[in-house]
Structure 1
Amino acid sequence: MITLGVDAHKRTHTIVAVDSNGRQLASKTIATTTKDHLGLLTWAEQLASGNGLVWAIEDCRHLSRRLERDLLAAGHAIVRVPPKLMAHVRDSARTYGKSDPIDALAVARAAQREPDLPVARLDGPDRDVRLLGDHRESLVAERTRVINRLRWYLHELDPSWEPKARSLDRLAILDQVLVRLEPLTGTVARLARDLLERCRTLTQQIDELTAEITTLVTDMAPSLIAIPGCGTITAAKILGETAGVDRFRSKDAYARHNGTAPMPVWSSNKARHRLSRTGNRQLNAALHRIALTQAHWHEPTKQMMTRRKASGDSGMEALRVLKRRLSDVVYAALQADLATGVKTAAA
């Protein structure tokens, strides 16, 4: 089996081929167009000479997406190597330094050392949901910056009045502010009106994206939305960050991925665990939002939290237990939605 490690960049990709013992066989640097990728395939197949091929690509999908798409379309197998694994491989090497060929070699050897790395596949609806969700988050952040600047201008124009907190994301409130600004003159008033119009435009775009995301997620993940405390935006974040629940071999592997699995920290007679700070933090934050909502409003969850606290757990420890259980619930819901989607497609 020949393993081809790829160090991906914006303008070039460097590929190093190694044999089953990790010995470097050849290296090549190419541009990032589909034409160059086709030439790379010819080079790799000639190098393999009938042996099996597996591609190991550093997990930076914004740089390697086109290469992955072209390789998958040609029927090749790809595994994604987390960057942190490369650092350990470089540290254990006989030579020092960092370059594209060194990094590509580290990618290939890391893939050989780790048997259960994520497998790449062609993008599906999950990526559409993630792209829409990320774009919505970007617009929300931009609107927040606009609102902050607008509030300072409104304070300068009239220190005795200000809109209610968290109200400038509603079109009706923006209309009221515009009425107060209309009789005012000067540079500050003009800039405030410009910011007000920008805030209105952003709010309309955010509302349209929210409606589109809601429609997609409702069709894709009805079981996930049915979980108490999981709204459509949180469900979209889970779908996008999970990127296909079928790539996880078990609910425990999914918990390890999202950072809710406790981490062992002991070396003597007393076994203990602590909070894991690894894993996908965006996914962990989505589970945290569901947990907080359930802890306040969901009666069975409130009872569970009360029992944990009565047994000696702190509030945060009880919340961590809840998040670990939620990870299993979310995993089961995603599996159910996947099975439903497969049956629907087959029908």
Structure 2
Amino acid sequence: MTTPITAVIDSSPELEVVTGVDTHADTHHVAVLSVTGARLGDLQVPATTEGYKQLLAFIRSFGSMRLVGIEGTSSYGAGLTRYLMAQAVEIREIVRPRRAQRRHGKSDPIDAYAAAAQTLAEPETLPLAKTGDGIIEQIRVLVGVRRSAIKARVAVIRQIKCMLITAPEAIRTRWEGLNERCLVESLAATRPGPATGSVTTATGHALRRLARRHQYLTVEITELEDDLRVLVGQAAPAMIARKGYGMIPTATLLVTAGANPERLRSEASFAALCGASPIPASSGKTNRYRLNRGGDRQANWALHQIALGRLSNDERTKNYAGRLRAQGKSKKDVLRCLKRAIAREAFHLIVHPEPVPATEDLRDLRHQRGATLVQAAMSIGAEPARLSELERGKRPNAELATAYRAWLTAA
């Protein structure tokens, strides 16, 4: 159901127009401005494919579209954004207005005209919308499900431990001293008897159900990680092959960049998006920067995990951190600098990926040389299990693959 146009100004087909859309779960409200800022009209349409067609026809009735600004391109406006992008419409993400900017009231037409005005005034500074399609969207939905499964599993084990604290003495003493894995396996295999029999049997039933829920979630997480490993390997082989980039941190950074990373104007904008850009915190004679607490915190977590991994096993990173500490920087400052450098590297790996060394023939080369995995690992200073994963393509590593091939092909 649509509302009537509140104001319409006669316009020629050659007129260029700018559009703003206020999105909701069931309806979207569109407002159209001329390039001079004159209000041409607004309309409410249903949030369906037919509504999207009606919205597009309404805009084109005023002239040619210069730009469309949509509020919530990754939430309520995701479907509209995908539809308009398929129609080759240029879209900008509208930044939600602050409460102080709404002193003149709030309604769907007011918000839609405000979005159109913002699009007209700031076409170069407004962020480009994500496409929300393709392999990156597949990764995004699977990462979200895995994250919720991880949280649910943590809640389950916490509930098991809390229940054991208040459980009857016989149950509490029976399961004391077991590690988490053994505790879950043992509880899942118990046969406590009828749950209606006593407090002891009811508690046993509750613990067994929680343990089996924990096992189910573990299987679900493992299956999700297997799917993500395939998708991430297809989407960013150069990134996953770089030292320190685990599968989940890589997937998180890919989701943050989106399926159209070219929308990011520079590596500095990507660092700001990840909350890794330095924030000046100087005063008087003190000249320093502090951690950025904004941006995508999941992407910031991914950079943090990569930084911690490299600090533990990468010599170049250790040397860099040592130089920073020698300059008097604190541990937080060192991590800030590392995350900024990793954000720069990640941006170029996403936008300008390097070719990945082939690994399919490494096992055949090793067999031709007559070497075992242990011998090869000892020769290049690696773990045999790591070389086995590399040969099977389970865990890419460009640096290790290059060193391994050099050793295999050496005279």
What is the TM-score with the length of structure 1 in the denominator? 0.86
How far apart are residue 225 of structure 1 and its match?
1.5
SS in 1 for 2:148: helix
Partner of 1:126: 136
The structure with more helix, counted as a fraction of residues: 1
Partner of 1:227: 242
Q: Distance in 1 between matches of 2:85 and 2:239?
A: 29
Q: Is the 8 A contact 1:2 1:54 kept in 2?
A: yes
Partner of 1:78: 91
How far apart are residue 104 of structure 1 and its match?
1.4
SS in 2 for 1:62: coil
Q: Distance in 1 between matches of 2:17 and 2:340?
A: 39
Partner of 1:113: 121
Q: Provide Cα deviations, 1:72-111, integer angstroms capped at 9, x if missing partner.
A: 222322111222xx338x72x8x61122222212222222
Larger radius of gyration: 2
How far apart are residue 22 of structure 1 and its match?
2.9
Partner of 1:243: 258
Decide whether aligned partners of structure 1 residues 339 and 4 sit closer, same or farther in structure 2, where only a CA change above 3 A counts: farther
Identify unmatched segments of 5+ residues in structure 1. Answer: 341-347
SS in 1 for 2:31: strand
Q: Does residue 281 of the first structure (1) align with residue 297 of the second (2)? A: yes
Q: Provide Cα deviations, 1:38-76, integer angstroms capped at 9, x if missing partner.
A: 11121111122xx33321001342211211122222232
Q: Does residue 97 of the first structure (1) align with residue 126 of the second (2)? A: no
Q: Provide Cα deviations, 1:217-275, integer angstroms capped at 9, x if missing partner.
A: 12221221123222111111111121132221221221122121113456999875433
Q: Does residue 259 of the first structure (1) align with residue 269 of the second (2)? A: no
Within 5 Å, which residues of 2 pair with 1:1-347? 1-48=16-63, 51-83=64-96, 86-87=97-98, 91=101, 96-114=104-122, 115-120=124-129, 121=131, 123-155=133-165, 156-157=167-168, 158-160=171-173, 161-162=175-176, 164=178, 167-168=180-181, 174-179=184-189, 181-183=190-192, 186-244=201-259, 245-264=261-280, 273-337=289-353
Q: What amino acid is the match of 1:116?
A: T
Decide whether aligned partners of structure 1 residues 25 and 282 sit closer, same or farther in structure 2, where only a CA change above 3 A counts: same
How far apart are residue 11 of structure 1 and its match?
1.0
Q: Distance in 2 between matches of 1:267 and 1:76?
A: 47
SS in 2 for 1:313: coil
Q: What amino acid is the match of 1:312?
A: G
Decide whether aligned partners of structure 1 residues 231 and 124 sit closer, same or farther in structure 2, where only a CA change above 3 A counts: same
Q: Is the 8 A contact 1:153 1:189 kept in 2?
A: no
How far apart are residue 116 of structure 1 and its match?
3.5
200-209 or 51-60, which moves further after superposition?
51-60
Q: Distance in 1 between matches of 2:30 and 2:245?
A: 43
SS in 2 for 1:7: strand
The number of equivalent residue pairs is: 328
Decide whether aligned partners of structure 1 residues 119 and 183 sit closer, same or farther in structure 2, where only a CA change above 3 A counts: closer
Q: Is the 8 A contact 1:136 1:206 kept in 2?
A: yes
Q: What amino acid is the match of 1:326?
A: I
Q: Distance in 2 between matches of 1:225 and 1:68?
A: 30
213-222 or 264-273, which moves further after superposition?
264-273
Identify unmatched segments of 5+ residues in structure 2. Answer: 1-15, 194-199, 357-411
Q: Distance in 2 between matches of 1:267 and 1:21?
A: 44
Q: What amino acid is the match of 2:136?
A: D
SS in 2 for 1:44: helix
